[in-house]
Structures are given as structure tokens and as C-alpha cells.
């Protein structure tokens, strides 16, 4: 009898499992129908729950050098190239246009600079929080110096005894004593300082921050340029570049009187209908007066011709000509510096809208390979060449400035079947946008977010103002948009995207699948390595914060409803249910209070927060007026508890 019952239970087990699955499926479909009725998605979008978890086409991007930072010896005969994708530095013989050596390193190199005299090379390791000094002839590491988080640009002073380092993640600049290896001081330098440059006279150091400062959605965005004394390292000026972000280059004029910074001028407070008029974003060259900090924003965009994603800039040996890279157009702009400065002296503030002014100082364009990022003058005075790091072509171009002949040094073989690499090129190219004004990357540096809010007029002008979201770690987190309207990235980035934003012909199906493959390859943002630490030791905040995040009862033991528990909406490993929720955040211009539940991985680097960017910090999510317990039950938490919860989230 017992055996018959056991066999009966075994026989009925699959039926019971199928019945449970069917019930869950019916509930899920009902949920999807409710979302569709609220404008949150498609009722038949099975991909919301069963969407692709990997890149379409089965491709995965291999290790690409992705060259960026450049440095050269005083004679212009040897060029050093940082290839963070393969954790190497390539040494190139300029005259022979050939690679002479490759040094394998144990860190991701973001910045390079050669010390006066050319004996030692400084390389910043973004993933190690340190700068290494290498022998320039052998690549042997002679010294390591700890700095801030995610160091990028580096620059020696004229003596070679001090080194300035831009630390992106810790948002500061380190001043190092090279002989002792000690950090002399650390100064704030804007949000994501990226580039450091020394003036020819050695008197000034310019530090350029890449992302705009955190501001309220209705405020004018701005990024910072920090000017330091090149001898003492002390602060001289903090300069605001109004409406500017994504500045990734800088160069001083020959006399050191001006600092030239290419940047994107963003008009995110205007409705996106302005894209048809070329006014959502355009390229500018900021002319910063070193002594006073005064700024003139000079247009780089021509009428009907965009200059998207301006990046590196360098000047000719005589200082008369500047060369600026456009990462989105695969071009180098050739600029008459004297004409630029003369035009800047006439500028009254309206010049940034007068694109015809570019004719006064923009002399020509040089076409180069995919996604040029850095430029540097090399070669001899008699035969000058322009070195260009072609990031998504895995090569360095050497352009003869007398004959315009281009020679290319390949750092890796071409990989025509690499679907992810092709997708990366699509992501960084502006050819899909009206007038080639911008690329996907213009709003998503490194696939992350620019932290700005935008007004998409398809929802109605002035309605549903939304924060730009990070694309890092986006695989498996469908549906997309804050409204959850798009069940797949193909829909998000395809014809609908072309209609709403680029206002041009959409990508082909092949190009779209390549783009999605690239987006699926993006890793989640790294957790804050300092979360829960104080003085290098654990404070226990991560453990306490985790208990608060996962708790089901209040401090006095009262049961918290599931809707009031953090983990209900943010379960691991993605920390999202991929559904919509109402947390009481509906604003006066929003049509609905239902918003897609964001994934929390790397949330510490995603500020600002909420669907409209109203919270500048994680703390403001719960402490802003009228929030109460609508966004999780927190009313019994004190300041220390809230700090623990935030530290835990930063560690995700």
C-alpha cells in the first residue's frame, strides 16, 4: 500500500509542477496586461520574462587593444600607445611606422606621459588605483605609487620630479613626489576628472572633468576645468563650462595664456524636437583664459555638419595649428589658433549659436579610422606627423601633415566576424543621427550614463521628463525605458529610437543586432571598493545594511508588508523584478506613477536617482520631503541605519 502511494505521488508530481507553473504564468500574463493597460509594455511580450540573456548572433567580442592614450619622446621618433583592452603598452617607431615592442602589464592603462629627458614613462592603472613608473627603453616597472580611484590622465611637471594624476572615480587630482613615491596633496577636481595637461612654460596644470556636475533637473548643467599651479600644485582657478559635458581633451596655447578644451554643448532642457534643428547637442571648443578663468565657448559644429564626440586635442610645434578628434565622425578638425583666439575676443556669448563662425578658424577636416580618441604631434619639425589612436580600429594612424598621406600601424588583426566589435562601432558612430550630430555614446560614455534628464517630445512637450539610464549590465533586465514600454533592446534601439531621437533612417536589422550584441557585452558597473570601509578596515556596515535590505519586520518586530521591503522589488542577482512599481514618485508632469524597477548593481556610480533625477544622492531617495514610507519602509531607521543601508547598496 505504501509503495502504491509513493508511486502515485511520483506520478502526480509532474502534473502538480505543471499546474503551479500554469497558475504562475496566468498571474504573470495578468500582470503584463495590467502593465500594458497602464502603458508599461506589451501584453503579449513574452520576452519581458523570457528575453534573451546573451548577445544575438552568438558573438562575443574578443580582446581588442582599443588604443587611447599617447605619449612621445622629445625627438618625436618614438610613440607610446596605451591599449587598455589588452593591458599593454605598444612602442612605435614613428619613421618606420611600425611597432617595435609590446609590454604586457598587470593593469588597465588609462593615461601616459613621458618624463622630461625621456627615461621614464608614467602609466595610470585605472583598475588598480595606482600609477607605475616604467623604464622607457624596456618597459620594466620601477615604482608603483597609490593614488585615488580609477586614475586616468597623468602629466609630469617640467622637472620630472612631480606627477599630476586625475582620479576619475574619487573625483580628485593627486600630486605625487616621484622621487619618494609619496602623495603630496590631493585636490577636488570636478566629476570624473579625465585629462591632465601641463602648459609649455610649466606654470599651469589643467585638469578636465568629463561628466557634468550633479545638479537638479531644472538647473543648467556644467562641467569643471581645474587650473593648478604647475610648480607648487596649489589651486589657481575652478572654471565652469556651462551646458558642457563629455570633455576628454585639453591643450595649452604656445604662450600658456589659454587652455583649449573640446566638449559637447548639451541642451537637455530643450525638448528633443530640437534635434531636427540641430540643437540637442553640438561640439564646442572652450577657450579658457588661464589668468582670469574667463571662458568663451566657440562652435566646432558647422551648419548642417555635426562634429560629434570631440575628444583629444594637440597643437603644432609652432602653436599656430590645433588638431581636434571627433570620435563620432572619424575625423580630425584642423584649426587656425590665431584666428580662433581673435574670434573669441569678439565673442559676446551668442557666438555658440552662430555655427557660421567656424569658417573663420576651421581650415579643413582629415578623415581617419574608427573612433579616434587621442591625437599627438610626432615626427620632426621638417616632417611633422599627427598620431591618432583609432580606438575601434585597433590601430594608430600616422598622418603626414605636409602631404596628407596616412600610414596605419595595426595593433591587432582585423576581425570582420566580431559582431560585438561591429556593434561597438555602431554605438560610437554618429552616422545614424540627423546631421550626424551625436552618437549613442554621446549620452552613454563607456556605455554608462551622462546623468542628465531629457524631455522626449513624443510624450508631449514638457511632460515625462526622464533621467538617462546606464546601459552597463543591461543584459537580462528587460523591459526597457523608465516606462517599461520596450520589451527588447531591438525595439528600444531600432525604428522607434530613430523616430524619437535620431530623426534619421534607422539602422538595418544587421546593424541593430550588432548594436544589441555590444550592449549585452557591457559589464555591470563596479561596486564601490570603499563601501563599508573606514581607514582600510571594515565597519560592519555592509552586514548591517544587508540585514536592513532583506528584513521583513520592523525594529519592534512588526511585520513589514511585502511591498515595503527592499528585497521584494530588488531581489538578487540583478536586484530588480523587471516589473513596474508605484513608489509615490509621480511628478506634476508625469502621466503615470508606475515606473520600471531599476537594477541596483553599481548603483553608487549612477547618480542622480529616481526616474526624473530628483535625488542627487542615495540618501535623498528616502529623506526628500513627502517620501515617507512610499519607497520601502524606513520610518523606523535612524541616521546610522540609513548610512548602513546606503553603504550596502554602494557595494552591490
Backbone angles phi, psi at 162, to 5 degrees: -125, 150
How far apart CA 69 and CA 12 sit, in angstroms, is 65
pLDDT band at 63 (very low <50, low <70, confident <90, very high): confident
Task: Give the model's confidence band at 532: pLDDT under 50 very low, under 70 low, under 90 confident, else very high.
Answer: very high
Q: What is residue 404's predicted lDDT score, i.e. its pLDDT?
A: 86
Q: Is the pLDDT of residue 45 over 50?
A: no
Location of C-alpha cell 609619496: 182
32 versus 486: the higher-pLDDT residue is: 486
Q: In this model, does residue 11 exceed pLDDT 80? A: no
Q: What is the mean pLDDT of residues 374-378?
A: 98
Express each pLDDT in 74-94 by its tens digit: 999 999 999 999 999 999 999
Q: Which residue has the higher pLDDT, 46 or 352?
A: 352
Q: What is the pLDDT of residues 586-622, one digit of tens each?
A: 999 899 999 999 999 999 999 999 999 999 999 999 9
Q: How confident is the model at residue 21 (pLDDT cuts 50, 70, 90)?
A: very low
Per-residue pLDDT band at 500 (split at 50, 70, 90): confident
Give the pLDDT of residue 19. 46
Residue 398 pLDDT more than 50? yes
Mean pLDDT over residues 618-629, rounded? 90
248 closest CA partner among 328, 146, 306, 341: 328
Residue 426 contacts residue 297 (beta carbons within 8 Å): no
- Does the pLDDT at position 16 exceed 80? no
Sequence-ordered list of residues with C-beta below 8 angstroms from that of 437, at least 6 positions apart, any chain = 275, 278, 280, 281, 282, 301, 306, 308, 430
Report yes or no: 569 and 633 within 8 Å, Cβ to Cβ.
Answer: no
On the question of pLDDT at 641 being above 60, the answer is yes
Asked if residue 87 lies in contact with residue 104, where contact means CB atoms within 8 angstroms, the answer is yes
According to the model, what pLDDT value does residue 37 have?
33
Contacts of residue 440, defined as CB under 8 A and 6 or more positions apart, other chains included, come to 426, 427, 428, 493, 515
Burial track 562-598 (b if 16+ CB lie within 10 A, e otherwise): eebbbebbbeeebbbebbbbebebeeeebeebbbbbb
Query: If you average pLDDT over every residue of the chain, what do you get?
Result: 90
Of 240-249, 370-379, 508-517, 530-539, give the lowest mean pLDDT range.
Answer: 530-539
Question: To which residue does cell 531621437 refer?
Answer: 501
Interval 328-365: pLDDT, tens:
999 999 999 999 999 999 999 888 888 899 999 999 99
pLDDT confidence band for 9 (50 / 70 / 90): very low
Range in 190-204, 497-511, 598-612, 635-649 with the lowest mean pLDDT = 497-511
pLDDT of residue 52: 39
Q: What is the pLDDT of residue 430?
A: 95
Question: Which cell goes with 55?
Answer: 548577445
Domains and CATH numbers, the chain: 533-650 (1.10.760.10)
Which of 17-26, 122-131, 278-287, 547-556 is predicted with the least confidence, judged by mean pLDDT?
17-26
DSSP of 458-483, one letter per residue? GG-TTSS-EEPPP-TT-TT--SBSTT
> How confident is the model over 410-468, as pLDDT tens digits?
999 988 899 999 999 999 999 999 999 999 999 999 999 999 999 887 777 888 889 99
CA distance linking residue 328 with residue 64, whole number of Å: 19
98-138 pLDDT, tens digit per residue, is 999 999 999 999 999 999 999 999 999 999 999 999 999 99
According to the model, what pLDDT value does residue 58 have?
34
How many whole angstroms separate alpha carbon 155 and alpha carbon 174?
11
- What pLDDT does residue 361 have? 98
Question: What cell was used for 329?
Answer: 565622425
- pLDDT score for 4: 52
Give the pLDDT score at 199: 98
Q: Rounded mean pLDDT of 507-523?
A: 96
Confidence category of residue 43, pLDDT binned at 50, 70, 90: very low
Confidence of residue 62 (pLDDT cuts 50, 70, 90): low
Q: Are 42 and 29 in contact (CB under 8 A)?
A: no
Closest CA to 408 of 422, 398, 417, 416: 398
| Confidence band, pLDDT 50/70/90 cuts, at residue 51 | very low
The overall longest dimension of the chain from CA atoms, in Å, is 101
Q: How confident is the model at residue 278 (pLDDT cuts 50, 70, 90)?
A: low
Give the whole-number percent of the chain exceeding pLDDT 70: 90
Amino acid at each position: 500500500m505504501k509503495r502504491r502511494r509513493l508511486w502515485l505521488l511520483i506520478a502526480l508530481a509532474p502534473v502538480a509542477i505543471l499546474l503551479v507553473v500554469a497558475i504562475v504564468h496566468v498571474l504573470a500574463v495578468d500582470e503584463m496586461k495590467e502593465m500594458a493597460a497602464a502603458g508599461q509594455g506589451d501584453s503579449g511580450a513574452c520576452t519581458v520574462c523570457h528575453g534573451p540573456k546573451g548577445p544575438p548572433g552568438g558573438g562575443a567580442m574578443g580582446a581588442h587593444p582599443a588604443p587611447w592614450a599617447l605619449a612621445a619622446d622629445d625627438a618625436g621618433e618614438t610613440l607610446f600607445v596605451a591599449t587598455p583592452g589588452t593591458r599593454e603598452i605598444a612602442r612605435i617607431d614613428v619613421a618606420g611606422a611600425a611597432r617595435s615592442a609590446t609590454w604586457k602589464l598587470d593593469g588597465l592603462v588609462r593615461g601616459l606621459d613621458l618624463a622630461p629627458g625621456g627615461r621614464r614613462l608614467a602609466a595610470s592603472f585605472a583598475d588598480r588605483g595606482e600609477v607605475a613608473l616604467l623604464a622607457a627603453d624596456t618597459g620594466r616597472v620601477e615604482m608603483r605609487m597609490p593614488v585615488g580611484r580609477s586614475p586616468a590622465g597623468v602629466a609630469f611637471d617640467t622637472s620630472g620630479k612631480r606627477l599630476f594624476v586625475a582620479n576619475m572615480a574619487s573625483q580628485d587630482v593627486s600630486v605625487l613626489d616621484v622621487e619618494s613615491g609619496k602623495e603630496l596633496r590631493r585636490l577636488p577636481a570636478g566629476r570624473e576628472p579625465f585629462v591632465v595637461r601641463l602648459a609649455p612654460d610649466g606654470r599651469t596644470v589643467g585638469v578636465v572633468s568629463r561628466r557634468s556636475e550633479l545638479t537638479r533637473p531644472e538647473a543648467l548643467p556644467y562641467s569643471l576645468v581645474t587650473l593648478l599651479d604647475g610648480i607648487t600644485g596649489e589651486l589657481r582657478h575652478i572654471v565652469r563650462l556651462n551646458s558642457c559635458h563629455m570633455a576628454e581633451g585639453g591643450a595649452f596655447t604656445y604662450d600658456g595664456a589659454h587652455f583649449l578644451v573640446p566638449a559637447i554643448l548639451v541642451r537637455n532642457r530643450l525638448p528633443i524636437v530640437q534635434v531636427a534643428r540641430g540643437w540637442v547637442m553640438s561640439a564646442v571648443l572652450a577657450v579658457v583664459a588661464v589668468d582670469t578663468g574667463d571662458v568663451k565657448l566657440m562652435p566646432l559644429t558647422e551648419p548642417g555638419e555635426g562634429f560629434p564626440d570631440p575628444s583629444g586635442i594637440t597643437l603644432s610645434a609652432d602653436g599656430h595649428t590645433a588638431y581636434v578628434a571627433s570620435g563620432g565622425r572619424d575625423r580630425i578638425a584642423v584649426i587656425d589658433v590665431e584666428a580662433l583666439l581673435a574670434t573669441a575676443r569678439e565673442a559676446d556669448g551668442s557666438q555658440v549659436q552662430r555655427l557660421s563662425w567656424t569658417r573663420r578658424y576651421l581650415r579643413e577636416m582629415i578623415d581617419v579610422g574608427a573612433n579616434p580618441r587621442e591625437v599627438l604631434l610626432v615626427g620632426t619639425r621638417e616632417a611633422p606627423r599627427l598620431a591618432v589612436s583609432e580606438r575601434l580600429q585597433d590601430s594608430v594612424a600616422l598622418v603626414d601633415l605636409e602631404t596628407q598621406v596616412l600610414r596605419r600601424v595595426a595593433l591587432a588583426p582585423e576581425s570582420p566576424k566580431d559582431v560585438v566589435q561591429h556593434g561597438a562601432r555602431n554605438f560610437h558612430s554618429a552616422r545614424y543621427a540627423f546631421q550626424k550630430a551625436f552618437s549613442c555614446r554621446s549620452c552613454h560614455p563607456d556605455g554608462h550614463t551622462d546623468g542628465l534628464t531629457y524631455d522626449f517630445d513624443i510624450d508631449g512637450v514638457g511632460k515625462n521628463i526622464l533621467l538617462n539610464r546606464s546601459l552597463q549590465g543591461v543584459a537580462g533586465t528587460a523591459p526597457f525605458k523608465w516606462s517599461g514600454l520596450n520589451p527588447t533592446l531591438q525595439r528600444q534601439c531600432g525604428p522607434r529610437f530613430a523616430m524619437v531621437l535620431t530623426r534619421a533612417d534607422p539602422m538595418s536589422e544587421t546593424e541593430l543586432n550588432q548594436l544589441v550584441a555590444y550592449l549585452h557585452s557591457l559589464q555591470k558597473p563596479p561596486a564601490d571598493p570603499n563601501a563599508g570601509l573606514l581607514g582600510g578596515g571594515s565597519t560592519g556596515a555592509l552586514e548591517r545594511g544587508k540585514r536592513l535590505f532583506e528584513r521583513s519586520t520592523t525594529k519592534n518586530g512588526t511585520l513589514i508588508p511585502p511591498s515595503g521591503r527592499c528585497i521584494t522589488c530588488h531581489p538578487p542577482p540583478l536586484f530588480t523584478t523587471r516589473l513596474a512599481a508605484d513608489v509615490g514618485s509621480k511628478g506634476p508632469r508625469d502621466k503615470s506613477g508606475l515606473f520600471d524597477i531599476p537594477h541596483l548593481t553599481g548603483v553608487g556610480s549612477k547618480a542622480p536617482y529616481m526616474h526624473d533625477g530628483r535625488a542627487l544622492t542615495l540618501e535623498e531617495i528616502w529623506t526628500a520631503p513627502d517620501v515617507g514610507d512610499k519607497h520601502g519602509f524606513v520610518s523606523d531607521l535612524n541616521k546610522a541605519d540609513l548610512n548602513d543601508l546606503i553603504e550596502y547598496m554602494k557595494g552591490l
